[in-house]
Amino acid sequence: MIEIIPNQFDFGSLQSRTYTRRVIIHHSASPDVSASVIHDWHRRKDWSGIGYHAVIRADGAVEAGRPLDAVGAHAGSAANRDSIGICLTGNFMMQPPSRSQMDSLPRLLDYLEDRYGTRLEVLRHKDVATTDCPGIHFPWPESSWLPVDSEVNAGLPETVPITWKDSLVSEARACQLITDNHHPDDPAPKWFVLAVGLNIMKGMGKIDAK
């Protein structure tokens, strides 16, 4: 479970989001600032208020922004209609996010998926608009956030959730069924299925290992 620090912001007119299928990641392109500061920035643009639904501070604290079920103002009208906007504070054109931020982000995503009862697609702002956001130093793809290798996982802080799916991938690597890190929910193309099948047959001695 993750703590989301509430805020009592005054908003202008807001619309309710009827469908939620993705999360879009941003950086603030600024020093570490509070959701309240971003709210003021966006109000000065004559927006209804902060456009992001959550802000992750440099120390990993998660602050509430726009109400979760309201349409955001963060990635353009088409993307806003079905997405939640998460902003990590900092300028990731200059340096990567803090480890505390990258610990909090997947925990927040888990919370959102539990809330909406579905797997949410995770995208960067630059994936839906012409922008550099969330910066060249933001780690990508999503599968790079949590290494599934058991030796690496052993050194992670307890706040990082290691799911049964991650453990399954780690075990498959240990058995040499796969050779690289894979996100457990990534789609499996035909070549990947064939490679795993061949590795199983090699392990059973049905074909020669090359």
**184-203 pLDDT per residue, tens:** 666 667 766 777 777 777 77
Residues 134 and 185 grouped into a single domain: no
Which of 125, 145, 165 delimits the end of a domain?
145
* pLDDT computed for residue 155 by the predictor: 42
Q: Which domain holds residue 156?
A: 147-210
Residues 109 and 13 grouped into a single domain: yes
Residues 152 and 107 grouped into a single domain: no
Residues 51 and 81 grouped into a single domain: yes
**What pTM was computed for the model?**
0.70
Query: Minimum mean pLDDT among 41-55, 61-75, 87-101, 188-202: which range?
Result: 188-202
- The CA-to-CA distance between both ends of the chain, in Å, stands at 46
How many angstroms separate the CA atoms of 123 and 120, rounded?
Answer: 10
CATH code of residue 141: 3.40.80.10
Residues 135 and 170 grouped into a single domain: no
Residues 168 and 116 grouped into a single domain: no
85: tokens are 């906007």
Residues 158 and 209 grouped into a single domain: yes
Secondary-structure percent of the chain, ordered helix, strand, coil, rounded to 5? 30, 10, 55
Tell me, what amino acid is at 155?
Answer: G
Q: Is 122 helix (H, G, I), strand (E, B) or coil?
A: strand
The H or E element containing residue 39 is helix 35-44
Q: Where are the beta strands (DSSP E) in 57-167?
A: 62-64, 83-88, 121-124
Residues 164-184 pLDDT 10s: 455 566 666 666 777 665 656
Q: How many domains does the chain have?
A: 2
